[in-house]
Structure formats: structure tokens, C-alpha cells
Structure 1
Amino acid sequence: EAEKDIIGIELTTADWGDSEVFPELLAQVDGEVAQVSADGAYDTERCYRSIAERGAQAAIPPRDGAVRWGDNHPRD
């Protein structure tokens, strides 16, 4: 996590949110991923699902006004 290399890129128009293209970005990362650290914009089911599918841990703060997702969700 100390490295600052660019390992993925996805070009979108202004009407796309970061979390919407996150699965495609994560798919560009070769090899094992231990942890994904991101800001609250990535606090979505889609992002958590993509991270879990890679066998990684999510380090994402809840969005403002976030509520519990329940069922032992990693964020809760």
C-alpha cells in the first residue's frame, strides 16, 4: 500500500461515478490483492462484492448518512 503506481485506468464521462466503474478497475490489477483502501464514494454493495470476489479486505469508510447493511456485512 505504500506504492503510488498507477495500476488501472478507466475513462468515463462526467455522468459516471467512481464506484460504477470500480469492478472494471479492480479487474485490471494483476496478481493477489490483500486490501483495497478507498474513500466513501466506494461504499457500495457493488464495490464490496468486487473486493470480496478477489479475496481482499475492504478499507472503506461509510458514506455520510450510511445505515447498517446487516447480515454480518464487512462494513458494519
Structure 2
Amino acid sequence: HLAVDEAEKDIIGIELTTADWGDSEVFPDLLAQVDGEVAQVSADGAYDTERCHRSIAERGAQAAIPPRDGAVRWGDNHPRD
């Protein structure tokens, strides 16, 4: 699992796991490795989980993550909806 600075193309975080770990499971630890301000987090639909969105919001960043297949509204004016 890699975190990459989109502008500089530098690897800024890495988490090595076995194949049975999902993307969203390691995401909070991956994001915690990123120093400084984070304006936006771009990821694929595997990261469309409450855990990931919460971690992104806690960093004050915007999520650019498409909804997962079969996604439903989370309600309560959640930014993902």
C-alpha cells in the first residue's frame, strides 16, 4: 500500500501487509505517515469506507474517492453523498 504525492510523484507512505489485509484496513496508518498538510486524498472505490472518510476528514482534507459498487447513501449530509 503506497501513499504518493500527486504533484511531486514521491512515495510519502508505505504499508506492507499480507494479501488478506484490505486497503481500507491499513489506510489510517498509511495516512498517518504523511507529514504536513494534506489538501486532498485521491483513491479508488476500495477506500470508500467510513473508516477512510473519517481519517481524511480528521486531517482536514477533501476525499476524491468514487463510491464503491453497490454503494448506498450514508445520510446525515455526509460529504460522500
Give your verdict on TM over 0.5. yes
For structure 1, the residue ranges without an aligned partner over 5 or more in a row are none
Q: Say which SS state the counterpart of residue 80 (structure 2) adopts.
A: coil
% identical equivalent positions: 97
User: Greater relative contact order (Cα 8 A, min sep 6): structure 1 or 2?
Assistant: 1
Residues of 2 paired with 1:44 and 1:35: CA distance?
Answer: 16
Number of residue pairs matched? 76
Which position in structure 1 is the counterpart of 2:55? 50
Residues of 2 paired with 1:72 and 1:35: CA distance?
Answer: 19
Residues of 2 paired with 1:2 and 1:28: CA distance?
Answer: 17
For structure 2, the residue ranges without an aligned partner over 5 or more in a row are 1-5
Residues of 2 paired with 1:16 and 1:57: CA distance?
Answer: 25
Structure 1 position 4, deviation (Å): 1.6
Per-residue CA distance 1:54-75 (angstroms, 9 max, x = gap): 0000000000100000011111
Tell me the TM-score normalized by structure 1.
0.96
Could you say which structure has the higher strand fraction?
A: 2
Q: What's the C-alpha RMSD, in Å, of the aligned pairs? A: 0.7
Per-residue CA distance 1:10-52 (angstroms, 9 max, x = gap): 0111100011000000000000000000000000000000000
